[in-house]
């Protein structure tokens, strides 16, 4: 399974890591569905202006009906679905705080998007994958799931759940030719992070000090790993998580 003419859905694909991944997959020949709460139309239009095939779906991954509609629109437009990149998530808008100060609402908001949203998207594309005889799911998790970073217990727990879901789905869906893997970034200077100076100020310094490659991590640093799991070279790999963080955590 190469990427030429493959149909790839990227959730949270209008900006940051998701948009960088969408551009890379398009450059490798994929046809893109940009799914996001806002900005999807502009992102898809920008890809079309570069000569790529792309459509937009404005949706919220935490709303089941909208996720189902996303998969339906993708298959109706392109005739199939081959790749799902589960990138949509909550992180850059969060305020670090001690565990005992987190509320049930804080937890629900993060889990609804980061975990339930991933579950809903995987479930929505599975019928199309089965009809096509296979597919690829690339879940964006995080290196914090291995390091147990403080002050964001709800986010850390959500990304740990994504890694466990990756393993469970890989086991269950392998008989259908569906490969499920995860990419775990370190702290990345995405559009969302840069819009939160307090987050950058609190996290950037410790992240740089903890890396073997002591430089800022950008969305472009992740796209190679995402492309690898979406493409032909990973055809016998499933259930794995690849940490991409400049050598901050050895896994």
Instruction: Tell me which residues are annotated as active site.
Output: 155
120 close to 67: Cβ distance less than 8 angstroms: yes
Segment (H or E) for 9: strand 7-11
Q: What is the distance between the alpha carbons of residues 88 and 131, in angstroms, rounded to a whole number? A: 25
Q: Are 84 and 71 in contact (CB under 8 A)?
A: no
- Rounded CA separation 170/234 (Å): 13
Q: Tokens 């609190």 appear where?
A: 202
* Residues 44 and 59: beta-carbon distance below 8 Å: no
First to last CA, the chain: 27
Task: List the structure tokens of 166.
Answer: 């990756």
Instruction: Name the residue among 201, 186, 189 with its Cα closest to residue 16.
Output: 189
Q: Give yes or no for a contact between 239 and 166, defined as CB atoms under 8 angstroms apart.
A: yes
Distance CA 54, CA 88 (A): 18
Q: 88, 18 in Cβ contact below 8 A?
A: yes
- Closest alpha carbon to 35 in 44, 48, 26: 44
Tokens read off for 250: 């050895």
């Amino acid at each position: 399974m190469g990427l030429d003419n493959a149909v790839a859905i990227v959730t949270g694909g209008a900006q940051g890591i998701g948009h960088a991944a969408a551009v890379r997959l398009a450059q490798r020949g994929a046809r893109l569905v940009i799914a996001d709460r806002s900005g999807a139309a502009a992102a898809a239009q920008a890809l079309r202006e570069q000569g790529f095939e792309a459509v937009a779906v404005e949706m919220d991954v935490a709303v089941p009906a909208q996720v189902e509609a996303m998969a339906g629109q993708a298959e109706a437009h392109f005739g199939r679905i081959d790749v799902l990149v589960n990138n949509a998530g909550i992180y850059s808008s969060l305020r670090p705080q001690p565990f005992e100060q987190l509320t049930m609402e804080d937890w629900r908001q993060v889990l609804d998007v980061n975990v339930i949203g991933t579950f809903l998207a995987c479930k929505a594309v599975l019928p199309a994958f089965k009809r096509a005889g296979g597919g690829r799911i690339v879940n964006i998790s995080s290196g914090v799931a291995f390091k147990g970073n403080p002050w964001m217990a709800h986010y850390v727990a959500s990304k740990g759940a994504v890694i466990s879901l990756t393993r469970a789905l890989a086991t269950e869906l392998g008989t259908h030719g569906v490969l499920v893997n995860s990419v775990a970034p370190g702290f990345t200077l995405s559009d969302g992070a840069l819009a939160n100076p307090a987050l950058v100020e609190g996290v950037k310094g410790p992240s740089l000090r903890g890396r073997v490659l002591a430089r800022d991590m950008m969305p472009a640093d992740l796209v190679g790993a995402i492309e690898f799991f979406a493409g032909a070279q990973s055809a016998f790999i499933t259930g794995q998580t690849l940490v991409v963080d400049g050598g901050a955590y050895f896994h």
